[in-house]
Structure 1
Amino acid sequence: MTDWDGLTPPDAAEIEAMARSALAGLPAEFAEGAAGVAIRVAEFAPDEVLDELQIDDPFELTGLYDGVPLTEKSVSDQPGQPDIIWLYRRPILDEWAARGDVSLGDLVVHVVTHEMAHHFGWSDDDIARIDKWWE
C-alpha cells in the first residue's frame, strides 16, 4: 500500500506553471496570437458562469475561454480586459483521477489547447472534428 502522508495535490501555481509550459510549446504560427492571453486558475467556475452555461455540476467544467476570439476582433475595438483562459483546478484534478489514462500535465495541456482554439475562433464542433481526445 502506498503511504500518502505528505503528498498534496498540485496547487493553483503548479497548474498555472503547467499551462504556461503548454503555451510556450505552441507552434510559432500561433505563438504571436496567443501572447496576450492571460492564464488564471480558480478552484471552480463561479456560479454565474455555471448558470450561464447551464451546467449543474461544477466538476463538469475544467476550463473556459473568456474573451473575444481573434476572428471577431477589430482594430477599432476599445481596449478592454485581456482575454483569459480560466482553468478550474478541482475539476481538472477530479477528471485526471477518474480517467487514470493520462498524465496531469497532458490533461492541462489539452484543456489549455482547447480553450486557446476558442481564442483563435474555433467552435466546439470545429475542435471536435480534429480532437479525438474524448474517444
Structure 2
Amino acid sequence: MIHMSAAEFGEAVDDALDSLPEEIARSIAEANVAILVEEEPPPGEHLLGLYVGIPLDRRSVFDGYAEPDRIFVFRGPLQRLALSRAHLVQQIRVTVLHELGHLFGMSEERLHELGWG
C-alpha cells in the first residue's frame, strides 16, 4: 500500500483535472458536478470511483432542478492498489477520467478502449 496524505491526494485529483483541455474543463464547470474525495466506497462495493447523476447526453431542459452530479474518488482502494507513488498518481488520473467519461455519457466499453478502465 502506498500512503498519500489527504491533501496530497486532493492535489493529485486537482492535477488530473488541470490536465484536461480547456474546452472539456469548461464543460465540466458548467455541468453542475462536484468532485469529491472519500476514504472508502459504500459498504460491499469494490470501487475506485463513482459517478452519480444524469449524464450530459441525457439531460433535458425539462428536467427542472436537480441536485449537482457527484463524482467520488475513493482514496483507500486507490492507495491499496498502487505499486508506487507514480502508479498511484496515474491511477488517480485514470479514475478521474473514467468517472468524467460517465458524466459525458461514455459506456464502460468505450472507457476501456480509451485506457480509462
TM above 0.5, one fold?
yes
- Residues matched between the structures, number: 114
Q: Which residue of 74, 92, 98 maps to 1:108?
A: 92
Note the aligned Cα RMSD (angstroms): 2.2
The aligned residue for residue 39 of structure 1 is 35
Moved more, 33-42 or 68-77: 33-42
Q: How far apart are residue 28 of structure 1 and its match?
A: 2.2
- List structure 1 segments (4+ residues) > 4 angstroms apart after TM superposition: none
Say if 2:76 is the partner of 1:80. no
Matched residue SS, 1:93: helix
Identity %: 35
| 1:101 CA displacement | 9.1
Q: Separation in 1 of the partners of 2:36 and 2:22?
A: 23
Deviation of residue 80 (structure 1)? 2.0
Of the structure 1 ranges 82-91 and 10-19, higher mean CA displacement relative to structure 2 is found in: 10-19
Aligned-partner Cα distance in 1 for 2:57–2:12: 27
Tell me, in whole angstroms, the C-alpha distance in 2 between the residues paired with 1:26 and 1:38: 16
Question: What is the CA deviation profile of residues 53-81 of structure 1, one whole-angstrom value per residue up to 9, with x for unaligned ones?
Answer: xx4xxxx3110111110001112222222
TM-superposed deviation, 1:34: 1.2
Q: What does residue 12 of structure 1 align with?
A: 6
**TM-score, scaled to structure 2:** 0.83
Contact in 2 for aligned 1:16/1:39 (Cα 8 Å): no
Task: Give TM-score, length-normalised by structure 1.
Answer: 0.73
Structure 1 gaps, min length 5? 1-7
Unaligned runs of 5+ in 2: none
1:96 lines up with 2:82 in the alignment = yes
Matched, 1:28 2:22: yes
